Structure 1
Amino acid sequence: MNLTQPTVTPSRRLLRALHDHPRRALVALFLFVVVAGAVGGPVAGALRSDGGFAPGDADSVRAVERIEAATGLQPSPGVVLLVETPPGSGDDPVEAAADTLAGIDGVARTDVAGAAPDGTSALVVGTLAADADEEATARAALDAFADDDGVTVGGGAVVGVQLGEQIGQDLARAETFAFPVLILLSLLVFGGRAAVLPLAVGVTTVLGTFLALTGINQVYGVSVFALNLIIGLGLGLAIDYTLFLLTRYREELDRQGPTLGAVLTTMRTAGRTVVFSAATVAVALATLLVFPMGFLRSMGLSGAVVAVVAAAAALVVSPMIFGLWGAKLARRRTSDGAEGRWYHVSHAVMRRPGLIAVATAAVMLVLAAPALRTAWTPVDGTIVPPGQSARVVSDTVEGEYGGTGTTPVTIAVDGDGAAELARQASGLPGVVAPAEAADLGGGVWQVDLEVTGDPAGEDARAVVTDVRELAADSGVDALVAGPAADFIDQQAAIADSLPLAAALLVLLTILVLWLMTGSVVLPVKAVVMNALTVGVALGALTWIYQDGRLTGLLGYTPNGGIEPTNFLIAAAVVFALSTDYGVFLLGRIKEARESGEPEREAVAVGLGRTGAVVTAAALLLAVAIGAFSSSEISFIQQIGIATAIGVLVDAFVVRSLLVPALMGLMGKWNWWAPMWLRRVHDRIGVSER
């Protein structure tokens, strides 16, 4: 369709207003940022810090709900106290700690769970009421024993609170590290006062996303882990989009001068590419909504929102800055970017396209190979940093108490058959003691099985599977809860949803790229190259975290595998950003080709005009989101490291070598599409002319 006809459209009127009255527009932007910060800023403290790793309708979740409905109590302790018992102290410290814990709102029952073999400590566990505010109860417990050096507070409720606090500290640390580096790099890359542009768009993006999440959080509880993705991805995309727009505006300054026409051309070409880029990023992350886990949905929803807000902010703020400074944003020295280093690199690659394509793909496959041996591990105590009290309690219980104070496998039976099921389950491999059925009232019975090994380890998972088979064979209405059951249900949900999510990711990405290019070959190639980039990033995760490398540098505790939902998030983010850079390059190649350049020359021109931009953007984005590798929470580390590796590989290897090699190899076939599909694209697609 023709987008250059001189009709005065609403978008043109808006651009004229932003360009002609930049100071008024910037005042309005400032007011928006202030309101967004005031209204949206507090959302960080309102996000969920617990759960979300198992489907809401899973048997393990329904088992907990069944027990809570019958008893009014949570089925496992929410607060666990590690009480020191020095020689001669008797039971006084334990009784005092139990009395204090019992007086906290939300704690419905306290029990002494046992003593250490050497008699130096004991455990006091607090069971919370089913309707208790876990966060408030955990904070009250921490405050109650804050001045008691002889009591260490842990438990599931405390883990959620301390993770939320740690995320806040990690964000502050990452910002302290990243912002000075980003400002310095922005001054070098953008040059002079133009460095204000990514800063303004980045702040607008982050606070605008917080404002949007304030409303979303009222309807759907968002996980606190999304904060890291919002800030890292928001800053990264703000840098990407503004750098691309500024580069194109500088080209138009050379041609048209500081006029409205230069802005209109920039927004018609580079601005449209930004829209396509945001669409591909949002689509890739939105596919996480297919999975029924709250954690994945939170990350997917937040990522999609931040991509849309980043594009909107870039497209609105950039014309203001262009109108305000105009010619002052020009390059210090003018040169034809198509004749630069990246232009010559592209021609050099296309002289031997087959060899370079095969060699590059082979190296990437080797680097991706470790991802094939990834072992899945559940969320466990190692997610909490070693310095936190919940981690101290968890490690002590595991090391000195053999898991005392936990209930690895809990069975909730509705109706008859509980006693017989308990008898049969007691004889299963891995169950270390006979179990009895406890009447909870209302026809509901509870059976607790003591199982060898970790609460979510192989023994516990085998017991869960066996119990479910016993219940199914005997016709007993039994639901199994506990860490092992949660992990099994999580894996089953991922296996069920992954084919649909992958299909949507591929099909929607291909659709957006087809709308942009009109080709069916280029979108398919983009998906394949993105998959290679994702494989390299995930292979690095496995090589580092599963194999326990760089523990001293990164400060994490290896547990022999990777948590599967984190793996999926890292894959989605890397795939999204790989498509993001691909859109930038394809947009310029398509523009050069439509202006009449031969196939290989169009590729060289496109890479010449975007190579420096993409590599600079990748470096800045790697700093923005890679800064979270300094987090003390391994979840955040893994996403930051995988993303940083992915964007750098994509910019320096895929876009520099693999893309020009494959495009040079295929020539005009890059743009092939069936005739009927081409006619459809002619009606609804986009042309740069």
Structure 2
Amino acid sequence: MATKLFKLGERIYEHKWKALLGGLIVLIMTAAAALGVGAAFTGDIEIPGTKSELAMEVMNEKFPSDESTGNGSVQLVFKAPAGAVLDDETIKAEVEQVLEYLSSDHDLESIISPYDNYSLNATKEIAYATLNYKLPAAEVGEQSTAIIEEAVQLARQAGLQAEYTGNIGSVIPEIGGLSEIVGIVVAYLILALTFGSLLAAGLPIITAVIGLGIGIMLILLSTHVMEVSAISMTLAVMLGLAVGIDYALFIISRHRQSLLEGKSVKQALAIANATAGSSVVFAGLTVIIALLGLAVVRIPFLTTMGIAAAITVAAAIIVAITIVPALLAIAGERIRPKAKLVAKQEKASKKSLVERWGSTIVKYPLPIAIMTIMLLLFCSIPALNMETGLPDNGMKSEELTERRAYDLLAEGYGAGINGPLVIVAVAEKGNDSSQQITEALERLNELPNIATIHPPYFNEDSSAAIINLLPETGPNDRKTKQLVEEIRLKADDLSAQYGVELMVTGSTAVNIDISSKLTEALPQFAILIVSLAIILLAIVFRSIWIPIKAVLGYLLTLTTTLGFIVFVVQEGHLASWFGIAEPGPILSFLPVLTAGILFGLAMDYEVFLVSRMREEYARTKDARKAVLAGIKNSGGVVVAAGLIMVVVFASFIFVEDGMIKSMGLALAFGIFVDAFIVRMTLVPAIMTMMKRSAWYFPKWLERITPSVDIEGEAIIHEMEKQNSSNHSV
């Protein structure tokens, strides 16, 4: 691979403008195609085959619905002024005037008044109207939302509290906000400090944006081929931008190092593409494999999330080994480190901060390793109490109308109104099916934590019924999850006694089943990627112990990250620092997603750091010098790459969406732990203590293991031979 990338680098140097133009043409063509056909994202997060999904299928079969089921709907919640009630004639007239104003929206199918749906609560202070739209939820336009906002203002002017919640609006996430721009600006400053050149600092940003643009357009096109959840786009942007900058950083750093050694621009470019480019391809493929490995858990929306993110990573790899060299060739000598700066650095007697850190680790490896492991284990403790779920309006900021509507509904009808359960009852064939269902349902009253069981709604032949059950607790409360389990356990007894099959579904039950399924999938996925890491690293580093050490470090990174997320998001500590409005369960797919992404990125840093150690050890057979050389030559780049990753992911912490916020927080903290605590601290300490045994590899295994030269050593040795022969002649 190194040889091919070397030749590719030479050809790109000779045809630099064509290579750059080709990349821009690809970007323009994909953009034209994607914008021409539009996007078809789905907002659904579901797992086929769960008990709640099977119950939903039975319900749809027994109660065929019309095509409007997936259309937009909104609940407009009213609360009377203090000391008043909603059935007062004056207040009733105000409410009806608000609803009359809403009728001006031609996209509305129907408006069901609080006085028609009998939704006044016991004190008659709170009620809600239901707005049903003609269009699918995602197609209801901003004009409809504006009309609702105006109607709400009319109600508030009349002294009523009015809030609304619903499913209308585009599911496509907003990209390119202020937080992302700030992240890019900070990344540029880090690159400028790393390179000491504003021009060199700008190149990774430019190429990352090109790669990300191509990746995003390909994802938009893929939505017409497979179902892609809207949240997939955000993950793809996060990852594509971060790795795009980092991969360009690695290649440009190696290019400048070769220029510093006196090589020509063409030689330096080809060497950078062969060496750092090989590492980028290997590391990027590792990330892609980890993302595609999400398919193993057999959860469709998680699989498509992995595919979408893998597309942007693949685009980042291709851009890194094609467009980055083209821009380096165009920049030419302007990228070469300035002679004065080089002379100053050579004259300086003090070591860099990274080198001093490496010397400290090598001098005191045992205490540093012990303290690091104890710190990581301590931070992992909260993960033992992790609870997962899907965020609801109750976890949003009180500044949002959705949250205030959630609170009003809970105040008026109890917390369970926001998390109703739907019971589907199907009786065996017989003359008394309705009676059987009624008697079976009465037995549910024996269970705890039930606020209300509404009367059953039967189908035409009375062989099946739908029952709405309101728990006493909210949708993400542990007691609600226990109630779902207890209903399912009791359903087995009722089936035998009454001949009635009871199934639980509804959005709350679906979310509970999704969380349970994803929690079960985490160990399975972890075993897969741990096995993959051991095999890949054993091939690369020709060592038994380095892969095991790398995997143990990765597992510490993962548990520490999950512990931190539980500490902040679930338990609420430091929540205000990160703009978390309300503590709540961890996003159900976050642990599996974090495990996959951190694995790929952790292996990136492991490869870039340890490969330089291996190169030095192969030359000197001195394990201590190898550790110091690895930190000296690659440590600064790993630090810069880690900082950029942290900044890019952290920029997503300050968006409004709770799912995006928790993903950004988990990935930013995880990269910080892995890059700075595990790779730059624990790994050198452990390798120093292991000495030469770190590089042990049985001869029989050496013979059957394929050789992979990710650092392009063969290319460098060949060039050195050619230079020696030229000098001798």
TM-score by length of 2: 0.84
1:536 aligns with 2:537: no
Amino acid across the alignment from 1:115 = L
CA 1:399–1:43 in structure 2 vs 1: closer, same or farther (change >3 Å)? farther
* SS state at 1:450 partner: strand
Cα offsets for 1:92-137 (capped at 9, x unmatched):
45556667579875857846252256645421235679xx622235
- The aligned counterpart of 1:463 is 483
Superposed CA deviations along residues 55-107 of structure 1, whole A, max 9, x for unmatched, are 12222123234334424165999421114556543534555666757987585
Q: Shift of the alpha carbon at 1:529?
A: 0.7
Q: Using the alignment, how far apart are the partners of 1:75 and 1:612 within structure 2?
A: 53
Corresponding residue SS for 1:147: helix
* Shift in Å, 1:538: 2.2
1:18 corresponds in structure 2 to: 12
CA contact 1:40–1:207 (8 Å) conserved in 2: no
CA drift of 1:672 comes to 2.2
Aligned twin of 2:58: 66
Question: Which of the numbers 386, 390, 393 marks the counterpart of 2:402?
Answer: 390
Report the more deviating stretch, 333-342 or 511-520: 333-342
In structure 2, the CA distance between the partners of 1:302 and 1:385, relative to structure 1 (3 Å rule), is farther
Contact 2:638 2:675 in 1 (8 A): yes
CA distance in 2: counterparts of 1:430 and 1:3, whole angstroms: 64
Q: Distance in 2 between matches of 1:419 and 1:84?
A: 35
Give the equivalent residue in structure 2 for 1:527.
551
In structure 1, the partner of 2:432 is none
Relative distance call for 1:42 and 1:580 in structure 2 (3 A) is farther
Name which one, 1 or 2, has greater alpha-carbon Rg: 2
Q: Secondary structure at the match of 2:77?
A: strand
What code does the residue aligned with 2:167 have? A
1:319 to 316, 325, 342: 325
Q: Is the 8 A contact 2:522 2:591 kept in 1?
A: no
| Alpha-carbon separation, structure 2, partners of 1:676 and 1:13 | 34
Q: Which amino acid is the alignment partner of residue 247 of structure 2?
A: Y
Post-superposition shift, 1:210? 1.0
Alignment of 1:430-445 (within 5 A): 430-441=449-460, 443-445=463-465
Aligned to 2:379: 367
User: Residue 516 of structure 1 corresponds to which residue in structure 2?
Assistant: 540
Amino acid in the other structure paired with 1:351: K
Corresponding residue of 2:470? 450
Q: Which shows bigger deviation, 553-562 or 333-342?
A: 333-342
Mapping of 1:305-384 within 5 angstroms? Answer: 305-332=311-338, 333-334=341-342, 340-384=352-396
Per-residue deviation, 1:216: 2.3
Whether the 8 Å CA contact 1:385–1:633 is kept in 2: the answer is no
2:137 is aligned to: 134
CA distance in 2, matches of 1:76, 1:312: 41
Does structure 2 conserve the Cα–Cα contact (< 8 Å) formed by 1:408 and 1:460? no
Q: Cα deviation per residue 1:648-669 (whole Å; 9 max; x = unaligned)?
A: 2323222332111111111222
Is 1:57 the counterpart of 2:76? The answer is no
Q: How many Å separate the matches in 2 of 1:67 and 1:575? A: 41
Query: Separation in 2 of the partners of 1:432 and 1:387?
Result: 29
Going from structure 1 to structure 2, the CA distance change for 1:339 and 1:518 (only over 3 Å counts) comes to farther
Match of 2:167 in 1: 157
Note if contact 1:84-1:93 (Cα within 8 Å) is conserved in structure 2.
no
Shift of residue 626, structure 1, vs aligned partner:
0.7
Which shifted more, 275-284 or 341-350?
341-350
1:172 aligns with 2:170: no
Q: What SS does the aligned partner of 1:114 have?
A: coil
1: CA distance, partners of 2:655 / 2:38: 17
- Count of residues in Structure 1 that have an aligned counterpart in Structure 2: 674
2:375 and 2:565 map into 1 onto residues whose CA distance is 17
Answering whether residue 141 of structure 2 is matched by residue 146 of structure 1, we say no
Distance (whole Å) between structure 2 residues aligned to residue 116 and residue 459 of structure 1: 24
TM-score (norm 1): 0.89
CA distance in 2, matches of 1:120, 1:277: 61
Q: Distance in 1 between matches of 2:18 and 2:72?
A: 58
**One-letter code aligned to 2:237:** I
**Paired letter, 1:80:** Q
Q: Name the amino acid aligned to 1:253.
A: L
CA pair 571-557 structure 1, distance change in 2 beyond 3 A: farther
- Residue of structure 2 equivalent to 1:499: 523
Contact 1:277 1:580 in 2 (8 A): yes
Distance 1:213 1:305 in 2: 7
The AA in structure 2 aligned to 1:51 is: D
Report SS of the residue matched to 1:182. Answer: helix
Are the structure 2 counterparts of residues 515 and 211 from structure 1 closer, same or farther at C-alpha, using a change threshold of 3 Å? farther
Distance verdict in 2 for CA 1:494–1:680, change over 3 Å: same
Structure 2 unaligned segments of length 5 or more: list them: 82-87, 156-161, 429-435, 715-729
**Cross-structure match for 1:602:** 626
What SS class does the counterpart of residue 115 from structure 1 fall into?
A: coil
Q: Residue in 1 aligned with 2:722?
A: none
Letter in 2 for 1:514: A
Identity %: 25
Change (3 A) 1:103 1:467: farther
On the 8 A contact 1:365/1:536 being kept in 2, the answer is yes
Alpha-carbon distance in structure 1 between the residues aligned to 2:557 and 2:361 = 19
Counterpart of 2:252 in structure 1: which amino acid?
L
Q: Is the 8 A contact 1:205 1:309 kept in 2?
A: yes
> 1:290 aligned to 2:291?
no
Give 5+ residue unaligned stretches, structure 1. none
Q: Is the 8 A contact 1:41 1:210 kept in 2?
A: no
Decide whether aligned partners of structure 1 residues 618 and 456 sit closer, same or farther in structure 2, where only a CA change above 3 A counts.
closer
1:183 matched to 2:201 = no
Q: Deviations over 1:192-236 (max 9, x none)?
A: 311232122211221121122123212222222223322222221
Structure 1 residues 585-604: Cα deviation after superposition (integer angstroms, max 9, x where no partner): 02212222233452221221
**Distance in structure 2 (CA, Å) of the matches to 1:322 and 1:76:** 52
In structure 1, the residue matched to 2:236 is 230
The CA distance in 1 between the partners of 2:419 and 2:198, in whole Å, is: 61
SS at match of 1:146: helix
Conservation of the 8 A alpha-carbon contact between 2:208 and 2:248: no
Change (3 A) 1:682 1:144: closer
Q: Which residue of the partner structure matches residue 266 of structure 2?
A: 260
Residue 244 of structure 1, aligned match among 239, 250, 263: 250
